[in-house]
């Protein structure tokens, strides 16, 4: 039973994303026109946003709020070939907009499932949630997503962290069993603790 309703949106709309060939990330800047970022924060230092010329229109089809209260912090976008990318929040100015990035694979997934820890959802700072992804070759991975609590002044910080836990499994069951039986963390299929969301087919009540 959820102690708090999950905050999510699955009304599709178009967004323009830009590619950084050095970091191999796609970026999304949702700031309003008056607040668009002139320089993008990256692990390789700040980048002049005007210097990134490779752009593409993609469909934002699912957004979820795992820690922030005025903006969605994990986004799922699809390109015109139906390939999925996962964007997480790097920085935010709340109602004025936020800045997001993909992982290195970018638009290379065909399925993505969320496992939301309902015990910690919007109650426990830094609560860990989980994401399984199936890439275009049919391999499944497991990723932990959470808001880091260790902010380093003057350094590169991201609002939402993602940590790869396991990869290259031939099935989702295989990677979930590995997490439970080999790593001995927990069973993400425990519906008393985790809420399952198929981001491509989310329930109507979200």
- Report d(CA 115, CA 186) in Å as an integer: 12
Q: What's the pLDDT band for 69 if we cut at 50, 70, 90? A: confident
Torsion of CA 77, 21, 133, 165, to 10 degrees: -140
Q: What is the pLDDT of residues 96-132, one digit of tens each?
A: 899 999 999 999 999 999 999 998 887 777 899 999 9
**pLDDT value of position 141:** 98
Reading the block at residue 205, the tokens are 């009540």
Rounded Cα distance, 121 and 193, in Å: 10
Q: How far from each other are the two terminal CA atoms of the chain, in whole angstroms?
A: 14
Grouping H, G, I as helix, E, B as strand and the rest as coil, residue 166 is strand
Confidence of residue 29 (pLDDT cuts 50, 70, 90): very high
Cα–Cα distance for residue pair 190/194, rounded to 1 Å? 6
CA distance 124 to 186: 18
Question: What are the backbone angles phi and psi of residue 33, rounded to the nearest 5°?
Answer: -55, -35
**What whole-number distance in Å separates Cα of residue 9 and Cα of residue 151?**
28
CA distances from 140 to 74, 97, 111, 163 (A): 19, 32, 9, 15
Is the pLDDT score of 1 beyond 50?
A: no
Question: Whole-prediction pTM value?
Answer: 0.94
């Amino acid at each position: 039973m959820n102690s708090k309703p999950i905050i999510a949106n699955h009304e599709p709309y178009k967004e323009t994303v830009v590619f950084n060939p050095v970091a191999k990330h796609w970026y999304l800047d949702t700031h309003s026109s008056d607040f668009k970022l002139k320089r993008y924060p990256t692990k390789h230092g700040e980048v002049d946003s005007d210097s990134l010329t490779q752009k593409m229109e993609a469909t934002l089809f699912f957004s979820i709020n795992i820690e922030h209260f005025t903006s969605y912090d994990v986004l799922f976008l699809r390109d015109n070939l139906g390939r999925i990318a996962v964007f997480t929040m790097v920085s935010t100015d709340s109602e004025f907009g936020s800045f997001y990035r993909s992982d290195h694979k970018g638009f290379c997934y065909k399925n993505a499932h969320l496992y939301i820890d309902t015990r910690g959802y919007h109650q426990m700072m830094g609560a860990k949630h989980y994401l399984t992804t199936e890439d275009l070759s049919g391999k499944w991975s497991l990723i932990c997503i959470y808001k880091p609590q260790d902010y380093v002044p003057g350094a590169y910080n991201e609002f939402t962290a993602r940590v790869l836990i396991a990869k290259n499994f031939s099935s989702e069951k295989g990677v979930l069993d590995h997490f439970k039986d080999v790593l001995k963390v927990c069973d993400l299929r425990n519906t008393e603790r985790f809420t399952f969301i198929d981001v491509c087919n989310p329930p109507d009540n979200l």
